[in-house]
Amino acid sequence: MARTAVLGLPRIGPDRELKFALEAFWAGRIGRPELEETARTLRAANWQRAHAAGIDVIPSGDFSLYDHVLDTAWALGAVERDDYFALARGTATRKPLELTKWLDTNYHYLVPELRRGQRFELDASHWTGPLREAAALGIATRPVVLGPFSFLELSKGEGSLEALVPVYAQLLQELAAAGASEVQLDEPCLALDRTDRELDAVADAYSAFGGIDICLATYFAPAQERVFALPVAEVHVDLVRAPAQLPYALEHARGRLSLGVIDGRNVWAADLDRALDRVDAAVAALGSERVTIATSCSLLHVPYEAAREDIEIRPWLAFAYEKLDELGVLKAALDGDRDALLERSREVAAARRAAALDEAVRRREPGRYERDTPYEQRREAQRARVPLPELPTTTIGSFPQTPEIRAARSQPGYERFLERTIAEIIAFQEHIGLDVLVHGEPERNDMVEYFGRQLRGFAFTEHGWVQSYGSRCVKPPILYGDVSRPDPMTVRWWRYAQSLTDKPVKGMLTGPVTILQWSFVRDDQPRSETCRQIALAIQDEVVDLEAAGCFAIQVDEAALREGLPLRRAEQEDYLRWAVDCFRLTVAPARADTQIHTHMCYSEFNEIMDHIVRLDADVLSVEASRSGMEVLEGLEYPNEIGPGVYDIHSPRVPSAEEIERLLELAEQRIPRERLWVNPDCGLKTRAWREVRPALANMVAAAHRRRAAVPA
């Protein structure tokens, strides 16, 4: 009989229990025992919910107090085992590990830094401990481990597969001794383009493993064909992202085949007829005993339970708990009354297809995709309109979202509170001497949700939190329909902020690709079409800001690189329409309006031609954790603001440290094209960190202005 499996479960808690426990621990309000008890409670709840849903293969070892890649590095002895959270968050004297996106998702992982001749030493307790915890509850689980090849690919430095294989072999033996009958090795990097040499090394590595059944899990793209020849008991394939790989997988599977037919990255109730067609094909080819019905990937990327939500589109949704139930329905439908079991799924699919569309949105023509004048002419017009000093200083947009701001949202007099807050933020920036100011975004709970709530076509949840990294959670909007902008969204607060100062205040907008990427997006039309609709809606806001007198408008595209398909053959098409959507957004801007954009925590050099095609007047990028490495080969012809301090860490950099980074930046980028700014927005930081850090940043810029250019 076919079995069901889930590749991973959410870990932040249905009500963000882990987030609040972590922050209480970091603040010294609770100790390590209380934090660990919260973690144990959340793990047990996950296992019990999956067990109650009848899932045959339940994961363990996928839970993390911060990040599963950091956990793997820690367990393998690839990082110093002195202070786990110092590696993640940094301290006053220690920089944290670099943070970047997990493949093409909005989850961030910490990048291990491996040394030449790196040695590894196993501590298997991260997996054996939860395995035994679940067993004590009467629940058998399958440990989930980041595979050796992907661990190395996701790390920096020069670790070798040969050195790592014996440690993984030891881990497999210890898991078997602890009672595991099989283990899931996640190898998402085996769904990327790979060389024959790399695949030969993988084959050699896996031939050294034995003593326990291995499920090799790939996802987010088609598995490399040679994966099916590896000596493993089961291969998992993502049939949501890459359904076309099924025929090859069926022909070449040697053992069990795990079918990822329930979408682990989106919130829509599954089309169970379509999923069952794929399961039927596998059962016909392999026999039911060789088939596993599974989620496409870990459910880390979706909220916990749609049943808690009170929104109109609720019947269309399936969060993690509902997806567990969908797996059970598919298994039952193999030998049961399909019409009765699938009736609800068919009703939902029909309702979504019949949902009203906005014909005005669909008839709107995009117009031109480029600005009227080239950059050099725009630069002169902008300098004539607003002269700025060398190395102009600014921030990326948001200032701290304090408890007072969050509490004020539900109180009378909220708008007056916002005015006072904005006035204080403007006064602070003028006091420390920033050159281009921001209003601080106190009215925005999230850079995507804020806009989504003012656009047509979006729905919002009360409890739909997902983990971004560590204790940082986001509640993505659900983009279900055609998108338009009924009224101006930001002009009121920009106009008020600008009235308080003679310095320019940036208008702050989230770009169309980032809104697309950081929402749960409709799956009934091409993403490019949905993105174009968003671009036109944000374009309307650009036009209104400019008409109000705004000199600098920042259209953040933090997620542009994140959306890049994992296989090269699909990347060119994505980059074409994604960049076109940004260009469409800002195309009406006059020559003397300065367009900024911001990108963070991604590798840009491989798509540099497309970054250049954005043609933003100023591009700001994360650069501090890598020590300005991102500027190597960053041949952006316009102005650039490499981040000079890491806002994801509580440590406050000194003026001397920032000055050294600026000096490095000047070795790569001419001073006349450089801006000075933090890595990202300051929303998650406390004022006690922000005040000295920004003051140090301004002081460092002044010192560099006084120095002879490199």
With helix as H, strand as E and coil as C, how does 512-534 read? HHHHHHCCEECCCCCHHHHHHHH
DSSP H or E segment with residue 620: strand 618-621
DSSP H or E segment with residue 396: none
Cβ(446)–Cβ(402) under 8 Å? Answer: no
**In this structure, are 277 and 315 located in the same domain?**
yes
pLDDT of residue 624: 80
**In this structure, are 291 and 412 located in the same domain?**
no
Cβ(394)–Cβ(506) under 8 Å? Answer: yes
Say which of 108, 610, 648, 702 is annotated catalytic: 648
**In this structure, are 259 and 396 located in the same domain?**
no
Whether 367 is in a domain gets the answer: no
Whether 385 is in a domain gets the answer: yes
Packing angle between helix 687-706 and helix 414-432, nearest 10 degrees? Answer: 30
Q: Which of 472, 475, 451 is nearest to 461 (CA)?
A: 475
**In this structure, are 386 and 350 located in the same domain?**
no
**In this structure, are 153 and 239 located in the same domain?**
yes
**In this structure, are 65 and 199 located in the same domain?**
yes
Whether 526 is in a domain gets the answer: yes
Whether 370 is in a domain gets the answer: no
Whole domain around residue 155: which residue ranges? 3-354
Query: Which of 354, 370, 392 is the last residue in one of the domains?
Result: 354
| Phi-psi region at 618: left, alpha or beta (left = phi > 0; alpha = psi -120 to 50) | beta
Whether 372 is in a domain gets the answer: no
pLDDT of residue 425: 98
Q: Which amino acid is at 545?
A: L
**In this structure, are 270 and 396 located in the same domain?**
no
Helix or strand or coil: residue 604? coil
DSSP H or E segment with residue 135: helix 125-136
**In this structure, are 249 and 393 located in the same domain?**
no
**In this structure, are 413 and 295 located in the same domain?**
no
Whether 349 is in a domain gets the answer: yes
Whether 366 is in a domain gets the answer: no
Tens of pLDDT, residues 570-615: 999 999 999 999 999 999 999 999 999 998 755 667 788 899 999 9
DSSP H or E segment with residue 637: none
pLDDT of residue 82: 81
CATH for 159: 3.20.20.210
**In this structure, are 325 and 212 located in the same domain?**
yes
> What backbone phi and psi angles, to 5 degrees, belong to 621?
-140, 155
Query: Which of 354, 369, 392 is the last residue in one of the domains?
Result: 354
d(CA 668, CA 424): 36
Query: What is the pTM for the complete model shown?
Result: 0.89
Which residue's structure tokens are 């904005």? Answer: 422
**In this structure, are 386 and 338 located in the same domain?**
no
List 599's β-bridge partners, or say none.
Answer: 621
Cα 472 to its chain centre, rounded Å, is 11
**In this structure, are 173 and 111 located in the same domain?**
yes
In the residue annotation, 610 being an active-site residue is answered as no
The one-character DSSP state at 371 is: -
Cα 62 to its chain centre, rounded Å, is 18
Whether 596 is in a domain gets the answer: yes
pLDDT of residue 417: 96
> Could you say which residues of the chain have pLDDT below 50?
none
pLDDT of residue 630: 77
Query: Which of 314, 335, 354 is the last residue in one of the domains?
Result: 354
Q: What domain count does the chain have?
A: 2
